[in-house]
Amino acid sequence: MTTAEATTSRKLTYVAAIADGLRCALREDPLVFVAGEDIAGYGGVFGHTRGLLAEFGPTRVLDTPISEAGIIGLGVGAAATGCRPVIDIMFMDFMGECGDEILNQMAKMRYMFGGKARLPMTVTTMAGAGMNLAAQHSQSLEAWFCHIPGLKVVMPATPYDAKGLLLAAVRDDNPVVVVFNKRSLGMQGDVPEAAYAVELGRANIVRAGTNFTVVATGRMVHEALAAAMALAQDGLDLEVVDPRTLQPLDIETIVASVRKTHRALVVHEAVRFGGFGAEVAAQIQELAFDHLDAPVGRVGAPFAPVPFSPALEKLYVPNADRIAAEVRRVVGLQV
C-alpha cells in the first residue's frame, strides 16, 4: 500500500464503512467468507453486506437458515479447520440463541487444545436502542462477552473505526466480537479507500481536555462530545476517551487521562447495573485512587427492558444532557 493509497479518503456512512471493511477482507484473503441471515441476496437487513454477493459469489457470501446456534457452529468448525469466517448475528439480542457455542466452544477451543488450535473467527452484530424496535431487538449486551475469557470485544464509534476495527478483527487469530450500533448507521466520516486496521487494545483520545475525563463507548462517544461542548461554558474542559476495544481494555490510556484530570465519568448505553462501566470505574479507583478528587461517576440505561414507546425510549437512552448533568454533579456544581 502506497502512502497515497493510505491517505486517500472519502466520506462514507457508518454502514457503508462496514461493507467496505468486509469487501477489503474478502479481497485480501480467499479463506475469508461471510455468513448470516439475509446477508447475501438481501444485502443484510441493515444494508451492511450490500453488493458483496455480486462481487464474491455464493460460496463466500452465504445466506443461512434462521438458526443462530447453527451459524456460530458453522463458524467455529470453519475457523478450526483453517478458514477465517465472519459470522453475522443480525441483532445482538439473538446472541442468547447461540450462548453455548460462544461460551463453551468459540471462546474455549484454543485453551482446551493447549494453544495448538487457532480460531480466527469474527462475529459481527448490531446493538443499541433508539429505533423503536422494542425490548427484544434493542439491547446492548457487550458486558456479557467482555466477561468470557478467550474473546476479544470491540465497539466502533465512527465510520473510520467501523472499517478499521473490523479488518483488525478478521486478521486476528482469535475470536473477536464486533459490536456495531444501529443508530450510527447513517453517520458520516472520513474512511480511507485502502485496507487498514485499527489496532485492537488501543484506546483513542477523541477530545483532549484538562480537568475531567469521560470514558465513553460506542455511540455514547458522540453524546460525550456534545456534552463537552455544552460544559465548556461552565469552564469544564472534558477529555473524551473511546476505549474502542473493550476486551482487552487499554486501561493505561484511561488511567493516564484520569491522573491528569483528577475526575472521571464512564458512559455506556447498556443498563448501568453490572455494565462495562463498573469494571472501568473499579480499575480507575484501583490504579489512580490517589489522583482522584471525586468518586468515579457512571451513566447508563435504567435497569429495565428497552421500551417500545418512542417517548419512553428517548428517556431511556443516555444522552448529552444526562452526561453533562452527571459531570456537574461529580464536580459539585448545582444541577
Write out pLDDT tens, residues 68-122. Answer: 999 999 999 999 999 999 999 999 999 999 999 999 999 999 999 999 999 999 9
Q: How many CB atoms lie within 10 A of CB 29?
A: 14
Write out pLDDT tens, residues 205-234. Answer: 999 999 999 999 999 999 999 999 999 999
Report helix, strand and coil shares of the chain as percent, to nearest 5.
40, 20, 40
Write out pLDDT tens, residues 232-277. Answer: 999 999 999 999 999 999 999 999 999 999 999 999 999 999 999 9
Mean predicted lDDT score pLDDT of the chain? 95
Considering the candidates 48, 137, 222, 268, report the single residue annotated as catalytic.
137
DSSP 30-44: TTEEEEETT-SSS--
Q: How many CB atoms lie within 10 A of CB 147?
A: 14
Which domains does the chain carry? 8-192 (3.40.50.970), 204-331 (3.40.50.920)
What pTM does this model have?
Answer: 0.95
Pure H helices in the chain: 3-7, 14-28, 52-56, 68-80, 99-100, 109-112, 142-146, 159-171, 220-231, 251-261, 276-288, 310-316, 320-331
Quick one: pLDDT at residue 244?
98
Quick one: pLDDT at residue 8?
79
Q: How many residues appear in the chain? A: 335
Q: Is 103 left (phi over 0), alpha (psi -120 to 50) or beta?
A: alpha
What residues are paired with 89 via a beta bridge?
Answer: 125
User: Under DSSP, is residue 263 helix (H, G, I), strand (E, B) or coil?
Assistant: coil
As a whole number of Å, the end-to-end CA separation of the chain is: 52
How far CA 238 is from CA of 283, 312, 335, in Å, comes to 20, 29, 17
137 catalytic per annotation: yes
Write out pLDDT tens, residues 30-51. Answer: 999 999 999 999 999 999 999 9
